[in-house]
Chains A and B, each alone.
Chain A
Amino acid sequence: MAVSIPAILSILESAARVYKQARVIAADAALAAGPADQAELLTLLRRISADNDAAHEALQATLAELTVGKGHE
């Protein structure tokens, strides 16, 4: 099976982004599990909620693009 160089680079870029995201999520999880008070937790909650709202919209748009013209709309 031949895989092109750009395809490999794309996969590596995605893996790097997943790694970076995993580090951010791990840092946020450490904050959430740590000795933060309620105000700090609410600030964190507001930021992550806003991130998730945007991420949900973005993922749905990406997936919709993949189904366009494939009979799955």
Chain B
Amino acid sequence: MRMRLFLMSCLAFTLAACGTLPSVSMMPAPPGAVAAQTTLDERALLGVELSYKAANSLATEAAHAGFVDAGLAVKIAALDNRLFATLKRARVAYASANAASYGAAIAEASPLVSEIWALVAGTGRADRGR
């Protein structure tokens, strides 16, 4: 009788313990996937920094090559200032781990980069200003 009670309690404890095990979906991801996930923020900020670098160097060289007149210089300067301010906001948000403003700054940067590209790319066209 005592042996049966002992076995039953062992079974009960074993079943109870099983309930506390994490399900398969709650198991941690493989180390490679975790590493990629934890560096996503750095990679996103690098993407914005590199986009700024590309837009900046294109605008700089267009100006040096004589494709930028005074009126266009004012427009490019304003856009470059806006993009750089957005880049700085993204840096601050990254440093302070502010996910909301980080995401907003990154989303805001992309169209500004496109605007600078479009403006500078148009400088080499013969029909510019028509």
Which partner residue on chain B sits nearest A34 by CB separation?
B43
Supposing A18-B58, A48-B50, A72-B74 touch, asked if A38 and B38 sit within 8 A by C-beta, the answer is: yes
Interface string of A36-73 (1 = CB under 8 A from B): 11100110110011011001101110111011001110
Secondary structure call for the B interface? helix
Q: Does B54 reach chain A (CB closer than 8 Å)?
A: yes
Q: Are A7 and B66 in contact (CB under 8 A)?
A: yes
Provide the residues of chain A in CB contact with B73, threshold 8 Å. Answer: 63-64, 66-67, 72
Chain A residues in contact with chain B, CB under 8 A? 7, 10-11, 14-15, 17-18, 21-22, 25, 28-29, 32-33, 36-38, 41-42, 44-45, 48-49, 51-52, 55-56, 58-60, 62-64, 66-67, 70-72
Sample 20 A-B pairs with CB under 8 A, ordered by A number: A11-B65, A11-B66, A14-B61, A14-B64, A17-B57, A21-B61, A22-B54, A32-B43, A41-B42, A42-B42, A51-B53, A52-B84, A58-B60, A62-B64, A63-B63, A63-B74, A63-B80, A66-B69, A67-B77, A72-B73
Chain B residues in contact with chain A, CB under 8 A? 35, 38-39, 42-43, 45-47, 49-50, 52-54, 56-66, 68-71, 73-74, 76-77, 80-81, 84, 87, 91
